[in-house]
Amino acid sequence: MATKLLRLARPRTIACVGRNYADHIAELGNTRPSEPFYFLKPASALLQPGGGPILAPRGGGARLHYEVELVAVLGKTVDEAAATTEAMEAAVKGWAVGIDMTERTSQEAAKKKSLPWSLCKGFKTFLPVSHLIPKEKLPDPHNVELFLKVNGETRQCDSTGLMLFDIPRLLQHVTSVAPLEEDDLLLTGTPKGVGPVKPGDVIEAGVRVDGKELEEGRITVRVEERQGGYGIAA
Amino acid sequence: MATKLLRLARPRTIACVGRNYADHIAELGNTRPSEPFYFLKPASALLQPGGGPILAPRGGGARLHYEVELVAVLGKTVDEAAATTEAMEAAVKGWAVGIDMTERTSQEAAKKKSLPWSLCKGFKTFLPVSHLIPKEKLPDPHNVELFLKVNGETRQCDSTGLMLFDIPRLLQHVTSVAPLEEDDLLLTGTPKGVGPVKPGDVIEAGVRVDGKELEEGRITVRVEERQGGYGIAA
Ligand SMILES: [Mg+2]
Ligand SMILES: [Mg+2]
Ligand SMILES: [Mg+2]
C-alpha cells in the first residue's frame, strides 16, 4: 500500500549545525567545537522533492559539495528549550533528510577573511529535502543510518549515533539564542564522506531505520549548471 | 494630521550587508571588501515598534553594540536583479530604519575561529525596526540622514550617500545567490559611530529627509538584561 507523502511546509528559519561528527571534522581539517555552532540558510534555498535540479554555481572555481543530514522539523514555537529528550519530543513534529549543499571555494575564502558563511551555504537549491518523515516511523533519531550516493556509488553512510552533540543539546543551543517556530528546520550536521559533485551527477540520499530505508526520507536529485547568478572565479 | 503607521510584515529572510561605509570599516579595524558581503538574521530576531526591550545577552563578557541601518523592504520575489535604479524601484515597496544589534565578544570569537556570524548577530530582539516608510516619503535612499542616539546623545549621524556599494548593487549581489521575496528585508550597512549599550540605556534612531525626521522611521527602544538564554562568559 502506497504511503501518502507529505511535503515540508516552507520554513522561515533554517538553522544548520556544523562539525557535529568527529570523522567529518577530521576530513575537512577543522577543529572540534567546544559547543555547537550553526549558520542559517535562506528559505529560498529549499528544494522540494521533484522541484528540479540542484543548480551548481557558475565559474571555473566552483566546487560544489554535498553533506547529507538528519533534519528536525519544528512543530511549534520553541524558546530556550531544555536539553532533554522530553523537550525535543515536544518541539519536533517530524523529521526529514536534507542535503546541505556547500560551495567550498567561497567557504574557504570566507573562512580566510573571517566573513559569514551566508553566501557559500545559501545559494538557491542548496537545500534539497525529502518528504516529511512522521515521528512514529523514526522513533529514535540518534539510531538511524544516513546515506548518500553519487551516480549510484555510496559516499556517505553512518549512524546518527555518532553525533557529538545530541539533538536535544542542538535544540537547546539554537533556541538559547532565538526561538525556532513551527515548520522551521534544524539540520543536525553531516557524517564523514563529503565530497564534490558536478553537473550531470545524480545524488540519492536517504535514511534507514533498522536497516530498512524509509520511503518518506528519499531524495533523488540531479545537478545542473546554473545559467545566471553569482559566479566563482577560478 | 496624524499619519497612519504601518508595521512591517514578518519576513522569511533578513539579509544584512556588512562593511558598507568606509569610516565604519576603519573604526572596527576591518578591511574594505572587494564585493559586498552579507549575513542572515532569523525572523525571530525582529523587534517591532512597541514590542518591548532589546534583550542584552547575559554574562560578564557580553558587549552589545548598535548599528543603525537603512532597510529595504521587498515588494515581490526578486531573483538575479540587475544592479540598476529601475530594478531597485521595482523590487522595493518601502523602507524602514533598523538597528543591527551585535554581540561583539562572540563576534570576535567567531571571527578568530572563522565560524559563522549567526549567533552574534541573531539573538532574539536583535533587530529593532521602525514602521514602514512609504516610497514617496523617501524618494532618494542614497540621500537621507541616518541617526542614532543613546540616552539622548547622538552617536551615529551620516548620509546614506556614503555607502560603498549602492542599494541596486546590494540587491543584485544578494539575489545573485538566492531570491528575496515579498516582505524580506535587506539591511544596507551602518555608518561610523557604532558602540556599546547596557541595560537601562534608551536608544532612539531614525532618518531625516532634507533635514526633516520622518515619523514612520522613528525607533525608541530600551535595553534590558535577558534573564535566560545563551550567556557570554567574561
Ligand atoms: Mg552541514
Ligand atoms: Mg553566517
Ligand atoms: Mg550591520
> What's the ipTM?
0.96
Of A150, A131, A42, nearest in space to B12 by CA: A42
Task: Give yes or no for B101 touching A (CB within 8 A).
Answer: no
Confidence category of residue A218, pLDDT binned at 50, 70, 90: very high
Neighbour-count burial for B75-102, b at 16+ CB within 10 Å, e otherwise: beebebbebeeebbeebbebbbbbbbbb
Task: Tell me the mean pLDDT in the region A52-67.
Answer: 97
Neighbour-count burial for B148-163, b at 16+ CB within 10 Å, e otherwise: bbbeeeebbebebebb
Kindly state whether residue B111 falls inside one of the protein's structural domains.
Answer: yes
DSSP classification of residue B51:
S
Average pLDDT, chain A: 96
- Residue A17 CA to ligand 1 center (angstroms) comes to 6
Task: Give yes or no for A9 touching B (CB within 8 A).
Answer: no
Residues, Cβ < 5 Å to ion ligand 2: A 39, 116-118; B 39, 116-118
pLDDT attached to residue A2: 59
Which chain B residues are within 8 Å of A12, Cβ to Cβ? 10-12, 42-44
pLDDT one-digit tens code per residue, B160-192: 999 999 999 999 999 999 999 999 999 999 999
Task: Give yes or no for B10 touching A (CB within 8 A).
Answer: yes
Best of A115, A120, A185 to substitute, by most chain B Cβ atoms within 10 angstroms, is A115
CA A227-A228-A230 angle, to 5 degrees, is: 125
Cβ contact (<8 Å) for A42 and B230? no
pLDDT attached to residue B150: 98
pLDDT attached to residue B27: 87
- Residue A110 CA to ligand 2 center (angstroms) comes to 10
Lowest mean pLDDT among A31-35, A144-148, A154-158, A165-169: A31-35
Task: Give yes or no for A199 touching B (CB within 8 A).
Answer: no
pLDDT attached to residue B28: 84
**Using an 8 Å Cβ cutoff, are A229 and A123 in contact?**
yes
Q: How far is A48 from chain B (nearest CA, A)?
A: 15
Q: Is the pLDDT of residue B3 over 80?
A: no
Ligand lying closest to the C-alpha of residue B24: 3
CA distance A41 to A14: 5
Best of A32, A38, A119 to substitute, by most chain B Cβ atoms within 10 angstroms, is A119
Residue B218: which CATH number?
3.90.850.10
Kindly state whether residue A6 falls inside one of the protein's structural domains.
Answer: no
Confidence category of residue B210, pLDDT binned at 50, 70, 90: very high
Cβ contact (<8 Å) for B117 and A116? yes
- Residue B9 CA to ligand 2 center (angstroms) comes to 23
Kindly state whether residue A3 falls inside one of the protein's structural domains.
Answer: no
Kindly state whether residue B145 falls inside one of the protein's structural domains.
Answer: yes
Query: Could you give the number of structural domains in chain B?
Result: 1
pLDDT attached to residue A128: 98
Q: How far is B64 from chain A (nearest CA, A)?
A: 14
In B110-169, the residues whose Cβ lies within 8 Å of chain A are: 110-119, 122-124, 126
Cβ contact (<8 Å) for B229 and A39? no
Ligand lying closest to the C-alpha of residue A21: 1
Q: Is the pLDDT of residue A26 over 90?
A: no
pLDDT one-digit tens code per residue, B109-143: 999 999 999 999 999 999 999 999 999 999 999 99
Number of C-beta neighbours around residue A29 at 10 A: 6
CA nearest B118 in A: which residue? A39
Cβ contact (<8 Å) for B124 and A178? yes
Q: Is the pLDDT of residue B31 over 90?
A: no
Kindly state whether residue A7 falls inside one of the protein's structural domains.
Answer: no
Rounded to 10 degrees, what is the CA torsion of B181, B182, B188, B193? -130
Q: Is the pLDDT of residue A28 over 90?
A: no
Kindly state whether residue B232 falls inside one of the protein's structural domains.
Answer: no
Which chain B residues are within 8 Å of A122, Cβ to Cβ? 40, 177-178
pLDDT attached to residue A110: 95
The beta-carbon neighbor of B124 closest among A112, A117, A179 is A179
Task: Tell me the mean pLDDT in the region B203-218.
Answer: 98
% residues pLDDT > 70 (chain B)? 99
Cβ contact (<8 Å) for A124 and B10? no
For residue B133, the enclosing domain spans 14-225
Across the A:B interface, residue pairs with CB atoms under 8 Å apart total 122
Kindly state whether residue A231 falls inside one of the protein's structural domains.
Answer: no
CA distance B124 to B53: 10
Q: In this predicted model, which residue has the larger pLDDT, A29 or A229? A: A229
Task: Tell me the mean pLDDT in the region A164-178.
Answer: 98
Residue with cell 567567531: B110
